[in-house]
Each structure stands twice: as structure tokens, then as C-alpha cells.
């Protein structure tokens, strides 16, 4: 039972355009959400997070939107750059600081120069 | 700081063999975790530790043992490897109030 789902295994976006990566979850106890970025042969690195008390969090070119009623979050990257090509994982936990993270299956983003 | 280091990078085992995946961090982080990543699946938590001497099970603990005798080290032991344990293993650490830092991973193949 996949509690965190990323239904698009891959996404290609032109350089300079907006990349939108989506994530859905089923567990209503999830209260804290994170996005990680992963390059080949490296571990995931933290990108941005959002608590359920907010519906938007922004950090430079990265913005995460949370729709709790729809159990949906999205990561927007604008403008997209070639270095953004990576696999992006959505993750969720029941509260901030909870070691038990549940990860999605990942979306491979390719930025086309 | 070296961050989170994992050894070996790659290992081939035969079914039934045992081995220990090493994980060390030099950031004095209290919390450490082990995940596995399989094709088509997200990272799944195996075991975690909230401090030296304290460990707990994650989502997929069967077939794995851990111990945390020091703050720096968190080894993962496979007592009798099975083909189902073929995976990429990631170790992570963090301080309270911070997000996790992941190591580069160990790729394990069990024949």
C-alpha cells in the first residue's frame, strides 16, 4: 500500500520553463512534507519542506504547494535549469522531526537545453 | 566535515552470507537511519536510532540488525543474506530540528 504516490515516473521540461512535480498521499495523519533531489550515485539531498499549517513555502526558484483537502502537494521549479535534472522524491511524516519518513517512488526530471 | 560516509560502495554476496554495512557521520548528529531503495519504489525505512544505545524498527526491519554504541557509527548487519535484500542502502543522520543528510549509498547484490 503506497501511502505517498508520485504518478509521473518522468518529466521533460524545456530550460527556462516551469517544472511542476506532483505528489499525492493517502494517510491523513501526515502533517509534514518534504522534497528531496537525487543525482545518480549520490544520496538524496533535502530541497524544501512544508508543514500542514501552511499551503505554500518558497525558497528561491523552488515553491511547494500543499492542498490538504485533496491530499496533494506539488513542487514548482521556475525557471528550470539543466542542473535541475535529477530524480525528485516526495516524502511525508506525521510530524516534524519524526524519523519515520514515507517516500514516494520518485519522478525523473530532465531539463532540455 | 566528511558528512555521512558509507562503506563499501558496492558488494556482491552469496545467499546465506553475512555482512555489515558501515555508516559513520562526523557532525555529532543524534539521529541516524537506514533506508533501502528498490526499483519502482521509494526509500523505505529499515531501522533508526535517536541516540547512542537506542534503536527502533522502521517499515522493513526483517533480516536486518542494528546497534548504536557510539554517536558516530550506525552499522547495519545482514545475518543471512537473501536475494530479496538486493538493493541500494542509504544511511542518513540529522540533528534535532534539522532535516536528514544522506550518505552516498551502498549497492548490494545478493546472488
Chain A positions contacting chain B at CB under 8 Å are 2, 4, 34, 36, 41-46, 49, 89, 91, 97, 99-106
Per-residue pLDDT of A66-86, as tens digits, reads 999 999 999 999 999 999 999
pLDDT(B40) > 90? no
> Using CA atoms, how far apart are residues A32 and A5, in angstroms rounded to an integer?
15
Residue B105, strand partner residues: none
B98 — pLDDT class (breaks 50, 70, 90): confident
pLDDT(B2) > 80? no
- Please answer whether residues A64 and A33 qualify as being in contact, where contact means their C-beta atoms are separated by less than 8 angstroms: yes
Q: pLDDT at position B39, please?
A: 85
On average, the pLDDT of chain A sits at 95
- Please answer whether residues B108 and B17 qualify as being in contact, where contact means their C-beta atoms are separated by less than 8 angstroms: no
pLDDT(A97) > 90? no
Beta strands in B3-100 (DSSP E): 4-7, 10-13, 19-25, 31-37, 43-51, 54-57, 64-66, 76-78, 87-94
Per-residue pLDDT of B3-23, as tens digits, reads 999 999 999 999 999 999 999
Q: pLDDT at position A85, please?
A: 98
B76–chain A nearest CA distance, Å:
17
A100 — pLDDT class (breaks 50, 70, 90): confident
Q: Choose from B68, B93, B99, B104 for mutation: most chain A CBs within 10 A.
A: B99
Q: pLDDT at position A75, please?
A: 98
Per-residue pLDDT of B71-94, as tens digits, reads 999 999 999 999 999 999 999 999
Per-residue pLDDT of A31-66, as tens digits, reads 999 999 999 989 999 999 999 999 999 999 999 999
Q: Percentage of chain B with pLDDT > 70?
A: 99
Q: What is the mean pLDDT of residues A103-110?
A: 96
| Least CB–CB distance from A89: residue in B40, B42, B99 | B42
> Using CA atoms, how far apart are residues B47 and B60, in angstroms rounded to an integer?
8
A10–chain B nearest CA distance, Å:
12
Q: pLDDT at position A98, please?
A: 81
| Least CB–CB distance from A100: residue in B42, B58, B99 | B58
What stretches of chain A show up as alpha helix (H) in DSSP? none
What DSSP assignment string belongs to A66-79?
EETTTTEEEEEESS
Amino acid at each position: 500500500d503506497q501511502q505517498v504516490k508520485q504518478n509521473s515516473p518522468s518529466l521533460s521540461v524545456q530550460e527556462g520553463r516551469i517544472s511542476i512535480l506532483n505528489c499525492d498521499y493517502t494517510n491523513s495523519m501526515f502533517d509534514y512534507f518534504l522534497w528531496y533531489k537525487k543525482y545518480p550515485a549520490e544520496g538524496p539531498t533535502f530541497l524544501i519542506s512544508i508543514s500542514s499549517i501552511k499551503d505554500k513555502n518558497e525558497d528561491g526558484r523552488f515553491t511547494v504547494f500543499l492542498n490538504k483537502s485533496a491530499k496533494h502537494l506539488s513542487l514548482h521549479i521556475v525557471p528550470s535549469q539543466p542542473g535541475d535534472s535529477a530524480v525528485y522524491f516526495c516524502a511525508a511524516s506525521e510530524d516534524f522531526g519524526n524519523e519515520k519518513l514515507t517516500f514516494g517512488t520518485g519522478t525523473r526530471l530532465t531539463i532540455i537545453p | 566535515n566528511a558528512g555521512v560516509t558509507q562503506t563499501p560502495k558496492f558488494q556482491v554476496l552469496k545467499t546465506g552470507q553475512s555482512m555489515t554495512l558501515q555508516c559513520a557521520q562526523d557532525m555529532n548528529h543524534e539521529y541516524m537511519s537506514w533506508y533501502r531503495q528498490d526499483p519502482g519504489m521509494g526509500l523505505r525505512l529499515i531501522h533508526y536510532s535517536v541516540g547512542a544505545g537506542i534503536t527502533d524498527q522502521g517499515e522493513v526491519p526483517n533480516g536486518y540488525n542494528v546497534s548504536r554504541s557510539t554517536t558516530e557509527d550506525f552499522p547495519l548487519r545482514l545475518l543471512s543474506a537473501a536475494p530479496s535484500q538486493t538493493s541500494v542502502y542509504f544511511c542518513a543522520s540529522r540533528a534535532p530540528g534539522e532535516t536528514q543528510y544522506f550518505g552516498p549509498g551502498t549497492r548490494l547484490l545478493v546472488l
